[in-house]
Amino acid sequence: MVKSGYDTKDLKSKNVGKDVRERDATIRLLRKEIECALESLKEVQYEMARLHEEKKEMSMSEKKNQQSIECLTNQILFLQEAMNDFEEQSKVKIDVLCHRVRDLEKLLKEASSHWYKRKEVQR
């Protein structure tokens, strides 16, 4: 079968039309892929910004916690020092009280002894 020049032109025209349609379809697919990639990039950027803010908040919270720990440590050391001073003062006061009680016991024994002797003399 012999093809005429008209058939050849018609076939070339169909091939060119097919190529244009395929190219247009490819462009649409690429455009959709690019749009999807841009949307994903926006979501990633948003998530990164959110994580950055969260990191800043955590850092600030950590600094506050560190300051609170330092303050609490200082208060504990101050309390420990006050308790040690109170313990020393209490020991001194207890020693003084013990000496007074011993002196009082001695006086009571002497008074008791003197009283018994007097009682016996009176009998």
Structure tokens at 118: 């007097």
Length of the chain: 123
The residues of the chain scoring below 50 in pLDDT are 2
Phi and psi torsions of 3, nearest 5°? -95, 140
Structure tokens at 121: 């003399």
Determine the pLDDT at residue 120: 85
Structure tokens at 50: 């959110």
Which pLDDT tens digit goes with each residue over 78-92? 999 999 999 999 999
Which pLDDT tens digit goes with each residue over 53-66? 999 999 999 999 99
C-alpha span between 90 and 105 (Å, rounded): 22
